[in-house]
Structure 1
């Protein structure tokens, strides 16, 4: 026979399990990395002046630093293209940006990749 005390214990146990489950789900959603792909796509462009590419690179750097990324390496290749790479160690995500580095008619593009993308995967070596 169920006593009032047994019912209270069962109710408290069910409430505790429900609350712990809710907290766990909320924590997973909060800690899940948000994809930056929409912002990266919005920054892409063609036919840009050098100043436009420089400004986009600076804006991207600020955005990524706020999101917890750290700059890993930036290099101008052949004097025509700037390549930059950022990495988020907790989310294991790499952001790579390519920007034309000439006076005019440049292209800017950036992408988000799972894992650590190494520099030698980005730049063709002779």
Structure 2
């Protein structure tokens, strides 16, 4: 059973989503936007690809186009692409926490499960 994703809050047409993923030695299986890529929007760190059969793919909650805001509670808005890659690679522990921003028009109710503490 995968850990739940929780919508932390909504702002306008966007949703801020917290996802906890298994942190495997092979990595999460995501590629982030490289500097100068056409998918880049200013200095935002976006998920550009999710590798087939990777932990992120099997989990299914992250999507191409999600903007990564935090990795393990560390904001990434002032980090370079290379610094974000390094932060992802050096993260230790059984889980890795990501806070992502997703446009509401691409969001469906199947994208998250409510955490048991919110079901009381």
- Structure-2-length-normalised TM-score: 0.26
More helix by share: 1
Q: Which has the larger radius of gyration?
A: 1
